[in-house]
Structure 1
């Protein structure tokens, strides 16, 4: 274990979701997949402004410093999400265009 290889701070990472990989290609017409992204990384003290931390996360971080065995660090999670439009077949084989909210991570933060 090398301390210089500490986990990166909370941030957005690349993730492409293929509907074929999920086995959904028979009912989803388009798109074939999309850039979903995901959030990962440490929420360590001090929480910088770019970590989009909630007030609760800031307080939780301070309590974690005092009682690390009892209170975990805040979690890295999406703070902003975007929708995608999906063309698919419904149960009656009708073609439907639907906007699915909260499918793409735009930004991450500590919660």
Structure 2
């Protein structure tokens, strides 16, 4: 009887709303803040860059082992500067163009069943720096440098495909151009 009274006293003495709520750790919140929103748009852009109409419908057993082997081979190969990068000189007078980047994990896109490599990418969008129109591209803001990222995936016929995707690395304004590039978020 005393046990029941103690349990009742504890339950009524503590606010129920706080007793059973789990709060995320600060580390988990920091990781989530860096992740991209708008994954549907990112998915569409990446599929287009890989020349795919839709995601391959495959289920590869031992995908974890394939990923580990691929990562090991990428680490052991010599690194070289990516070819084909174009860069415009930085214009320190123009602060209207900002680079907004976020980490996109293949798992967050739901592609871990068919994409072997990479496990994540840095997705960059070129946007206006002003706070009132942060979603609107600046008049001259456009990609000024790209990185070529290899994608290794399994296609509909369980074949391995190695394809390259050009992802935006830097944003800026071309000194000789005053008009907006219509596709500032699409990899070229």
The reply to whether residue 27 of structure 1 matches residue 114 of structure 2 is yes
Structure with max Cα Rg: 2
Aligned residue number for residue 94 of structure 1 = 159
**Number of positions where the alignment pairs a residue of Structure 1 with one of Structure 2:** 74
Q: Flag the structure with higher strand content.
A: 1
Runs of 4+ in structure 1 displaced over 6 angstroms?
none
State the shift of 1:13 in Å.
Answer: 2.4
Q: Secondary structure at the match of 2:107?
A: coil
Please list every run of 5 or more consecutive structure 2 residues that lacks an aligned counterpart in the other structure.
Answer: 1-94, 131-137, 174-179, 181-188
TM-score when scaled to structure 2?
0.34
1:21-48 deviation digits (Å, cap 9, x = unpaired):
11111110111111122222248xxxxx
Aligned residue number for residue 54 of structure 1 = none
Q: Flag the structure with higher helix content.
A: 2
Q: Secondary structure at the match of 1:74?
A: coil
Aligned residue number for residue 82 of structure 1 = 147
Distance 1:75 1:23, change over 3 A: farther
RMSD: 2.5
Contact 1:16–1:35 (Cα < 8 Å) also in 2: yes
Contact 1:13–1:39 (Cα < 8 Å) also in 2: yes
State the shift of 1:75 in Å.
Answer: 5.2
Q: 1: distance between equivalents of 2:147 and 2:153?
A: 19
The reply to whether residue 36 of structure 1 matches residue 36 of structure 2 is no
Q: 1: distance between equivalents of 2:129 and 2:104?
A: 24
Distance 1:42 1:11, change over 3 A: closer
Greater length-normalized contact order (CA 8 Å, ≥ 6 residues apart): 1
